[in-house]
């Protein structure tokens, strides 16, 4: 796994190199990150070097307006597939836990999770991102990897790695800003700065129980069997 950083892009990495049975995920095919508003010239060049052809942006319209992606003249197709039904702020005002947020994504935005996974199949290399690259991106990429046959603990570990890419300075500033508005929220640190392995492990186990597997979840919400086969072909070598 390269873990390659793109200047100005938070939490940018390649998900290549993960064990998947007797194979591994292909490098240079699927990337994940936070938003692209702060890309500098070197960051734009790095995206060009990676050959990114499709960007799957999971943010809502307010986030797009507030932090437009800096893609310059890169030859990319941008797919906007917002996963939250409601504002980001609503998760803090409703005092939802991280696990409850993830349940909401797979329950309320199932068709959009399928759209995002289907977008990976349209053109590669593909980049999936949201604002931080932690929750919406974490759930989407985890479901896609698990459905493609990536070893379960490798999927969980990839999700959990996000904490390594969020700087203490960034976390302190974000937490302070949130606590000024929602001083009593008990889940602020998890929502803003953490990606605990047990939360993702529990979400994938729930999809096992209710749908037989993450692939079964995608199939139940419209992804065809041939698309699932193609997903494995695209991601695993």
> Is 172 in contact with 127 (CB distance < 8 Å)?
no
Flag whether 32 is in a domain: yes
What average pLDDT does the structure give for the chain?
93
Within 10 angstroms of residue 180's Cβ, the number of other Cβ atoms is: 8
Residues in the chain: 237
pLDDT digits (tens, 9 = 90+) for 14-65: 999 999 999 999 999 999 999 999 999 999 999 999 999 999 999 999 999 9
Flag whether 1 is in a domain: no
pLDDT of 175 reads 86
C-alpha separations of 156 from 53, 108, 138, 141, 152 in Å:
26, 22, 9, 10, 6
> Is 78 in contact with 101 (CB distance < 8 Å)?
no
pTM of the full predicted structure? Answer: 0.94
What burial class does residue 235 get, using C-beta atoms within 10 Å of its C-beta: 0-12 exposed, 13-18 middle, 19+ buried?
buried
Of 132-141, 177-186, 227-236, least confident by mean pLDDT is 177-186
Residues spanned by the domain of 86: 13-231
Section 68-89 average pLDDT: 86
- Alpha carbon dihedral 134, 140, 146, 150, in 10-degree steps, equals -60
pLDDT digits (tens, 9 = 90+) for 87-138: 666 767 777 899 999 999 999 999 999 999 999 999 999 999 999 999 999 9
Provide the domain count of the chain: 1
Contacts of 55 by beta carbon, 8 Å cutoff, 6+ apart: 36, 69, 71, 76, 77, 78, 79, 126, 127, 129
Q: What CATH code is carried by the domain that includes residue 117?
A: 3.90.190.10
Flag whether 56 is in a domain: yes
Flag whether 4 is in a domain: no
Flag whether 201 is in a domain: yes
Flag whether 163 is in a domain: yes
Flag whether 28 is in a domain: yes
**Residue 1 pLDDT grade (very low, low, confident, very high; cuts 50, 70, 90):** very low
Flag whether 8 is in a domain: no
3-state secondary structure of 32: strand
């Amino acid at each position: 796994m390269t873990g390659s950083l793109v200047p100005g892009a938070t939490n940018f990495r390649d998900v290549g190199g993960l064990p998947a049975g007797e194979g591994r995920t292909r490098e240079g095919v699927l990337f994940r990150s936070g938003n692209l508003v702060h890309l500098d010239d070197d960051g734009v060049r790095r995206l060009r070097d990676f050959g990114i052809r499709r960007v799957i942006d999971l943010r809502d319209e307010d986030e797009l307006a507030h932090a437009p992606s800096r893609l310059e003249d890169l030859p990319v197709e941008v797919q906007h597939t917002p996963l939250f039904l409601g504002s980001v702020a609503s998760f803090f005002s409703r005092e939802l836990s991280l696990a409850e947020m993830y349940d909401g994504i797979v329950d309320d935005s199932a068709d959009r999770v399928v759209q995002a996974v289907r977008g990976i199949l349209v053109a590669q290399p593909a980049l999936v991102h949201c604002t931080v690259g932690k929750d919406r991106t974490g759930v989407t990429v985890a479901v896609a990897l698990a459905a493609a046959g990536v070893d379960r603990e490798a999927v969980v570990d990839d999700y959990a790695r996000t904490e390594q890419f969020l700087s203490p300075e960034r976390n302190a500033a974000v937490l302070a800003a949130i606590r000024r508005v929602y001083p009593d929220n008990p889940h602020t640190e998890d929502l803003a700065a953490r990606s605990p392995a047990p939360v993702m492990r529990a979400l994938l186990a729930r999809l096992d129980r209710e749908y037989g597997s993450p692939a079964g979840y995608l199939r139940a919400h419209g992804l065809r069997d041939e698309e699932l086969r193609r997903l494995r072909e695209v991601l695993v070598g």
